[in-house]
Structure 1
Amino acid sequence: MTGKAYTSNALRANISVTIGRHYGLDWLRIGAFALLILYHVGMVFAPWDWVVKSRVTYPALIVPMAALTPWRLALLFAVSGYASRRLMMRGDLLAFLRNRSLRLLLPVGFALVVLLPPELWIRERLRGYDGSLWRYWSHDYWSVTPIHGLGFPSWEHMWFVVYLWAYTVALVGLVAALGIPRLQRAGDWLAHGIRLLWVPIAILVTLKLALMFEVPEQQGLTTDWTAHAEFAPLFLFGFVLGGSDVLMPAVHRFWKPAAVIALVTGIFAVWIELAYQGQHVPGHALMALDRAARLAMAWVMILLLVHIATRFWNHDHPWRATLAEAVFPIYVAHHLILMWLAWTTLPLDLPMPVEFALLLGGTTGLSLGVYLIGRRIPWLRPWIGLSAPKRAPAVKIATA
């Protein structure tokens, strides 16, 4: 993001640019993960299915939840692609792949062995399993044959990390085969005219509609092709955005139409959720239109939020580095903590505002505690998504 072309374009767009690290994207990533925790707490009380549910659900939550659903994960993959480009600039391709694999797969392994067994035990208990946690952890958890529909491995929320690693491997293959300049030219092509506003939407909608009535939506690395058709292109866009001199000014040019499209598609997505609740589903044509609207909203929300992050948030703060480091360990830990808190406190029948505050505050606080404690334990750091501690430089002792 250095160079005369980028600087001049940014000045023409009246955008203040920080050469080097994009602090605004750091804040956007922090905010996206914070929204994810808030969303998961909301799922306890919303009328939609989730793991642990409140005895009373609240239809009023449909509106804010439906407004978040189309773009919250799309944004995370786009921001992850941007971060991947910046990390790739630091060294060679194989070093990037090795470092990213360690950073992503070690937490997955830690979750599979330590965090997910109690999480899935709670899920199984709610479905009638009567064994102890130790019995489940030491025996039934490892069964490939599904118990109550769940077999090993069940990724739970760590699916995001597994998908991100797979996209990283695919990205390395693309870079090795085509080279970064060719990928960058393809991405920069979007900056001309109004292509950035409509071409990605057309691609995403075409891919989604080609698959949605033919391939079932089934979470899993080798089965979730409708999700890959959305998230992988957004990850790739984030990657080319991270090295482009022309895409960011184009993002700023289109923030107003992006905001209008986001509002219109968001209203439509909310209306669909309100009109078709429970077992009621729209017909194929309306369902296809709903998916198209969601994808359009996801794309323009990415443009709008990147614009906001660059224009208003692109500055450092004493807390930024700590929060940016903390979000991944917090993500790894939060799901189990939320499930355990909900499972143990919902039977108390607390007033909804009190229960919501308890779950949100407890999940955030305990997850933050995992980070604050884990970062001080050198051997634990890589397992919760932190970089290994840096070795102190050797000190030469002068001899007479």
Structure 2
Amino acid sequence: MKTERRYDIDWLRVLAIGLLLIYHIAIVFQPWAMFVGFIKSNESLESLWKPMTLLNVWRIPLLFYVSGMGVYFAMRKRNYKQLLTERTRRILVPLIFGALAIAPLHFIIFQKFYHLPLGYYPHMGHLWFLGNIFIYVLVFTPLFFYLLKNEEGKFKKGLSALMKNPLGPLSLSVFFIAEALLVKPQIFSVYAETWHGFFLGLLAFFFGFLFIYSGQQFWQTISKWKWLYLGLALFLYIIRLLVYETNSPGYLMAIESNCWIFAVFGLGYQYLNKPSATLSYLSQAAYPVYIIHMFALYAGALIILPTQLPPMAKFVAVTAFTFATCYVVYELIIRRVGVLRPLFGLKPKINKLEKKLLQKAA
């Protein structure tokens, strides 16, 4: 069954990964970096953190939403067994390989930077996100297939009707508010390996699927009302910044998070839903870059932080080094070495004959 390719969703995934890299690099220049397991610069750039606090309530939830949307598109072309096989290959295999061979690398660099005894142990590190997604797939796949088999039912009709109203998407924030009130995260933006991150991700993944499932009504609504969502998000961020010193109550941040995300979805739907060669390349690269970026970041910090550069120049240099290293490793190694491709979530490399046969079949 053919489905329309949503280039805006591909773009948002790419942009979210890019923002994730910048966010993680900014942590290196905060005085509390070591408390969250990052190499810390001796010269802090605390001014960097103001724009990062704007990102930190929606950057990870956005990826969970997009992941749920991706499952919808995958299910349109696969049965139950095929979907689980494909998600195991694409998520579980890179998670296991990454926990054994990739995530430990930046821990070893951390040890070297601080002259600690070198040691290795497998751990998920920043790949915790993949573990969560795989669990969500296992939990929700039976329900999702049931919903797809009943696309003419009352549930979808009611959901579509709800999405026609600009308050419809926002009304689902009640579930995120409940999560914040029940789990009571000490810091809302700490998602990695926390119950808050798990349940918030579960909700975003589920509703990401439902937004696509509901049909065009959701996209038409958020496209029409994107500036309303953006205005609400800015209003709540200003309150968070001026009244709560960036850490407002969880229920307010839950609403703010969704306002940012709906504004981003609306802007993306209007301006980014078109193919390009750049997107085709970047959408393939985004997943491997996510897997290797912490190694590249820590390597850059190890080399650049001891230099005599001014703090802002160090930030720029670490950023350039991280992006350049990710590009080189992806382009020259991961993308071209057939045996490595599945370990980073890429499809196996096909030879010229297979490519010609696929083109003929298309």
Q: TM-score, normalised by structure 2?
A: 0.86
Query: What CA RMSD, in Å, does the superposition of the two structures yield over aligned residues?
Result: 2.9
- Give the residue type in structure 2 aligned to 1:209: L
Aligned to 2:231: 260
Aligned to 2:313: 354
Instruction: String of CA shifts for 1:130-151, please: whole Å, max 9, x gaps.
Output: 23xxxx23xxx2xxxxxxxxxx
Separation in structure 2 between the aligned mates of residue 292 and residue 304 of structure 1, nearest angstrom: 19
1:54 to 41, 54, 61: 41
Instruction: String of CA shifts for 1:17-53, please: whole Å, max 9, x gaps.
Output: xx81111221111111111111111111134434111
Q: Which protein has greater RCO, CA pairs closer than 8 Å, 6+ apart?
A: 1
* 1:242 is the counterpart of 2:229: no
In the TM superposition, what is the alpha-carbon distance from 1:395 to its structure 2 partner? 9.9
Aligned to 1:366: 325
- Give the residue type in structure 1 aligned to 2:339: W
Aligned to 2:360: none
- Give the residue type in structure 1 aligned to 2:329: V
State the SS of the aligned residue for 1:319: helix
8 Å contact 1:215–1:225 — kept in the other structure?
no
Aligned to 2:270: 311
In the TM superposition, what is the alpha-carbon distance from 1:72 to its structure 2 partner? 0.6
Instruction: String of CA shifts for 1:134-171, please: whole Å, max 9, x gaps.
Output: xx23xxx2xxxxxxxxxxx5311101111111112122
Query: Gapped runs of 5+ residues in structure 1?
Result: 3-18, 142-152, 277-286
Q: TM-score, normalised by structure 1?
A: 0.79
* 1:118 is the counterpart of 2:105: yes
Aligned to 1:283: none
In the TM superposition, what is the alpha-carbon distance from 1:75 to its structure 2 partner? 0.9
Aligned to 1:102: 89
Separation in structure 2 between the aligned mates of residue 382 and residue 226 of structure 1, nearest angstrom: 31
Separation in structure 1 between the aligned mates of residue 14 and residue 356 of structure 2, nearest angstrom: 37
Aligned to 1:389: 349
Equivalent pairs, count: 347
8 Å contact 2:45–2:312 — kept in the other structure?
no
Q: Rg larger in 1 or in 2?
A: 1
Separation in structure 2 between the aligned mates of residue 76 and residue 168 of structure 1, nearest angstrom: 14
- Give the residue type in structure 1 aligned to 2:301: A
2:289 to 330, 333, 355: 330
Aligned to 2:130: 161
Separation in structure 2 between the aligned mates of residue 119 and residue 272 of structure 1, nearest angstrom: 37
Separation in structure 1 between the aligned mates of residue 185 and residue 24 of structure 2, nearest angstrom: 28
Runs of 4+ in 1 over 6 A off after TM superposition: 213-218
Query: Gapped runs of 5+ residues in structure 2?
Result: 358-362
Higher deviation after alignment, 300-309 or 121-130: 121-130
8 Å contact 1:28–1:309 — kept in the other structure?
yes
In structure 2, relative to structure 1, the CA distance for the partners of 1:53 and 1:189 (3 Å cut) is: farther
- Give the residue type in structure 1 aligned to 2:273: N
Aligned counterparts, 1:1-400, within 5 A: 20-49=4-33, 50=36, 51-125=38-112, 129-131=116-118, 136-137=119-120, 141=121, 153-176=122-145, 181=151, 184-185=156-157, 187-212=159-184, 219-220=192-193, 224-243=194-213, 244-271=215-242, 275=245, 289-373=248-332, 374-390=334-350, 392-393=353-354
In the TM superposition, what is the alpha-carbon distance from 1:96 to its structure 2 partner? 1.0
